[in-house]
Amino acid sequence: MRRFDYAAPTQTFEACALLADRGEEACALAGGTDLIIQMRERGRAVPLVVSLRNLADLKGISQNDDGSLTIGAMATGGEVTDSCLVRDHALFISEGAELLGSIQIRNRGTLGGNVGNAAPSADAAPPLVAAGACASIVGAKGTREAAVGDLMTGPGQLALGPGELIQSFTVPALPAHTGTRYVRHVPRLEMDIAVVGIAALITLEDDLETIKDASVVLSAVAPTWPHARTAEEVLKGQPVSEKLLAHAGEAAAEDSRPISDVRASAGYRRMMVDVYTRRAAATAIERAKAAS
């Protein structure tokens, strides 16, 4: 590992100023489960590491008066997994966080870090996108809001300006008769990276037999975390049936843009998008009925 300077500011504006001043020479350290590996094993040079561990306004999980949920960017994967607020509000966010490596990694890695790492195979990000979550971004020029789905512009690329940090995520209150599910396909059950991931959010009509709205977001099969728009349109307004889910799975496979790599071929990934979209949507529908 190359030598580096280290700073641990106690105020968010100090962290933003340090990052803005040093530009590409500086990098924020959240849980460090990705950054430290890159520095130690891949020779990444980071002249200045700015730790976020002492920034209280980036931590915590709370429910707001309008029913929405705010999750601090420094909330760990373990905290998100175990939070009753998160599980009751949008279960698939907990399900995604629960897949962030081992228990030890989940207790270090953060929700903001998983999003900020901008990996197409991220597990915690797709549920946030499917739920319509917004990120609160703080920087030297103030704060702004951005949809989580708009943050990632490509592998390893995030739409943040110099000195900007993700402060928190706000997940809107979900409508009645809504169920969620996040599933992924991996060669191993634990400690693996998604070959395919599907986040599904389904809202039913009052009859509990017709799909009112649907949100399906893909992981590991495109350069970002895209909505499967065709699959969503296939589901909306239709009565629940096995045939409908099969049609949605096929549509999601067509919506995907996978590549072939050492973990799977593009063709195999498309097949798994089909299979796992059906499974995720079916479970989300079951949960929507059970919640009602």
The CA distance from 18 to 61, in Å, is 26
Q: Which helix (H) or strand (E) holds 171?
A: strand 165-171
The CA distance from 183 to 38, in Å, is 27
Which DSSP letter does residue 44 get?
A: -
* pLDDT value of position 42: 80
Give the list of residues 6+ apart from residue 131 with CB closer than 8 angstroms, or none.
90, 92, 93, 171, 172, 174, 180, 201, 215
| Residue 187 burial (C-beta neighbours within 10 Å; 0-12, 13-18, 19+) | exposed
* pLDDT value of position 101: 85
* pLDDT value of position 41: 80
Amino acid at the residue 257: R
Question: For the chain, how many residues are written?
Answer: 292
Q: What are the chain's domains?
A: 5-51 (3.30.43.10), 59-171 (3.30.465.10), 178-291 (3.30.390.50)
Tens digit of pLDDT at every position of the chain (292 positions): 789 999 999 999 999 999 999 999 999 999 999 899 889 888 899 999 999 999 999 999 999 999 999 999 999 999 999 999 999 999 999 999 999 988 999 999 999 999 999 999 999 999 999 999 999 999 988 999 999 999 999 999 999 999 999 999 999 999 999 999 999 999 877 668 999 999 999 999 999 999 999 999 999 999 999 999 999 999 999 999 999 999 999 999 999 999 999 999 999 999 999 999 999 999 999 999 998 7
* pLDDT value of position 245: 98
* pLDDT value of position 25: 94
